[in-house]
Structure 1
Amino acid sequence: MDLLIVDALDQEVIHWLESRHSVRVAPELADDPREFRQALYNVRALILPASVAFSARTLQYAPMMRAVGRINAGAENIDAEACLRAGVEVVRSATATAQAEAEFMIGALLSMLRRVPIAGADGMLVGRELGACTVGLIGMPPAARAMAAMLSGFGCRVVGYEPSLHASDGVWNRWKVAPMPLRELIETSDALAIQLNYFSRYHGLIGERLLPYCKPNQVMVSVSHSGVFDEQALADVLRSGRMAAAWLDSLEPGALDEGHALHGIGNLQVTPRLGSTTRESRLRSAWAVARRIDELLMTTPSGAAEFRPTVPGEPLDLAAEPASR
């Protein structure tokens, strides 16, 4: 079989793929891990929803796999290193969700600035205007470009931090964002928009060395994986009132349960990855993923695909080279 689709896709995209490849559409496999693994044996490409992980162990059941596609949301539960070792490409669209995420973050900032009032010069509790704010962008993915353009229309000052970009890089001028060291950005921004691509080296990056020094009454929205935060440091700065409000669009399961640092914090709002998920972004992403998978399948016809025979029940050593070519 060329392609197994476990996610919900637009019918036009599915029909296009079916006209070019052998396709099985089986969204029910998302709720049956055992059947899902058994379905992978002769599959060359896969499109998965965010709820289904793809690990090194799963790869043991997929000796012909060449591509794993993800339409929306993050790919944190896809083992990218195991896929790389096995020659499996993780297919995602880098730009399809940019507009959706930018609109979501601006909407979140507008909401928090108005509904979490602070004391004005006359002592009254009042909301704030986004146009009067310095907005700090942490991470510069495609959504940051769209967001910077929108924020300029409000009259905001926009500053940014991206660990992979030098301050002299031309991207800053083209996107009209002023580069700034991370601590200085957090200390001076009235609002933070965090969209940093998550890697293990960034775990807990935004924590006790930075958050206690945030600008008073700051608001923050994040579409990044929640692993970029030190949860205790975030809880402390929210409970103390120094940070007025925070909105996380991705949070690890159980993080709000009793006994955890973020439990019961009234000025924290959490949503389940709404930022990147719109009708338009899903359609853009579905077509981008479908076309790339089609390209990969056409490049390696099914008869030419490398097949590594296995003994039933014997795990594959994915790091080893095949015995013969």
Structure 2
Amino acid sequence: MQPTIAIAFKIPEDILSGLRTWAHVVEHQDATALPASQWQTRLNQADGVLISVFNPVSADQLTHTAALRMISSVGVGLNHIDLKACQEAKVHVANTPGVINHPTADHAFALLLGASRNVVGADRLVRAGQWTQPIAPMMGMDVHHRRIGIVGFGGVGQQIARRAIGFDMRVHYHQRHRLPTAQEQALQATYTPLSELLQISDFVVLQVPYNPSTHHMIGARELALMPKHAMLVNTARGGVLDEDALADALEQGRIAGAALDVFENEPHINPRLLQAPNLLLTPHLGSATAATRHEMISMAANHLHQFFNE
């Protein structure tokens, strides 16, 4: 008997066709998200599900899912899934690591460059017809030969470091465990305690996983350590940053600017962020290239195939 696989979002037709060869697929081919009640109904009936970060799975939901055996999530972070409840319910969970390393690093650097050179503001100025003299009125901040501090030095963080080297930047990193010396040398990266990293970096990029120990790890105290000219980039998870503390720092001019691709309650944005000065915002685009998303969804579908067929 074929397992029932429920899909929470629209996926490419070739991957959908592959799933249909071995499973009964309950698809969702609408661009809008399923209402919570409909998603619960599908969870109740499914043996396996294919979800994204925008489809949370809570302990309460799992109490009604007697058949559910496998959750395959598109993305690296798993903070949208109650892993302890899944373990107790004997529901296997898989994600798609590795695939996002390069595109997320690309986007982190796009945010860093966009914020430092005020690309969005400059575009608005030109479109508004306010460029009236040969020399543009906006002065940006140099990126080359500056110091970058990368908080979280896994696959994405290390790719950010490789890009920084191309800009002749000095790379510092912080994470729970220091890398072997040979790996540090290959990445031209210096391990630095977090407080020191914040004090010496011109650009701070957050790329740590989100969990209880990293919740609001960057708050008012940490932002106060940063130089006034420094900029913060978050391409990790929204919950690692205290958004109100960031709004305070920007409003008071205590740091020069910031760029965020992730938010604590996304897709809902803290209203203070929408009003904060010198802040560049993008809607969780770290892995948003056509090739990357296709590979991620394909990997998630393969996890389901392996679980139910091998």
Give the alignment's TM-score, normalised by structure 2: 0.85
| Mean Cα deviation higher: 36-45 or 140-149 | 36-45
Count matched residues. 289
Q: Would you say the 8 A contact 1:106–1:147 is kept in 2?
A: yes
Correspondence for 1:251 among 254, 263, 287 = 263
| Mean Cα deviation higher: 33-42 or 56-65 | 33-42
Runs of 4+ in 1 over 4 A off after TM superposition: 167-171
Query: Is residue 106 of structure 1 aligned with residue 109 of structure 2?
Result: yes
Q: Would you say the 8 A contact 2:74–2:96 is kept in 1?
A: yes
Could you say which residue in structure 2 is the equivalent of 1:231? 243
| Mean Cα deviation higher: 179-188 or 126-135 | 126-135
Q: Would you say the 8 A contact 1:72–1:282 is kept in 2?
A: no
Q: Give the superposed CA RMSD.
A: 2.4
Could you say which residue in structure 2 is the equivalent of 1:2? 4
Could you say which residue in structure 2 is the equivalent of 1:160? 173
Could you say which residue in structure 2 is the equivalent of 1:128? 141
SS of corresponding position for 2:144: helix
2:67 and 2:250 map into 1 onto residues whose CA distance is 49
Could you say which residue in structure 2 is the equivalent of 1:31? 34
Give the CA deviation at 1:170. 5.4
Q: Which letter does structure 2 place at the counterpart of 1:8?
A: K
Query: Is residue 288 of structure 1 aligned with residue 299 of structure 2?
Result: yes
1:58 and 1:170 map into 2 onto residues whose CA distance is 46
Q: Deviations over 1:149-206 (max 9, x none)?
A: 222111111110112x136565434443211100111111111111110111222211
Could you say which residue in structure 2 is the equivalent of 1:144? 157
Q: Which letter does structure 1 place at the counterpart of 2:8?
A: V
1:34 and 1:167 map into 2 onto residues whose CA distance is 46
Correspondence for 1:81 among 80, 84, 99 = 84
Could you say which residue in structure 1 is the equivalent of 2:125? none
1:209 and 1:16 map into 2 onto residues whose CA distance is 51
Q: Deviations over 1:18-67 (max 9, x none)?
A: 22323221345942322322223342110123332211111122212122
Give the CA deviation at 1:110. 0.9
Q: Would you say the 8 A contact 1:238–1:267 is kept in 2?
A: yes
Give the alignment's TM-score, normalised by structure 1: 0.81
Correspondence for 2:210 among 173, 185, 198 = 198
Q: Which letter does structure 2 place at the counterpart of 1:272?
A: P
Q: Would you say the 8 A contact 2:75–2:97 is kept in 1?
A: no
Correspondence for 2:227 among 203, 215, 239 = 215
Q: Give identity over the alignment, percent.
A: 25
Give the CA deviation at 1:271. 2.0
Any stretches of 5+ residues in structure 1 without a counterpart?
Answer: 118-123, 300-325
Any stretches of 5+ residues in structure 2 without a counterpart?
Answer: 122-136
Could you say which residue in structure 1 is the equivalent of 2:134? none
Indicate the structure (1 or 2) with the bigger Cα radius of gyration.
Answer: 1
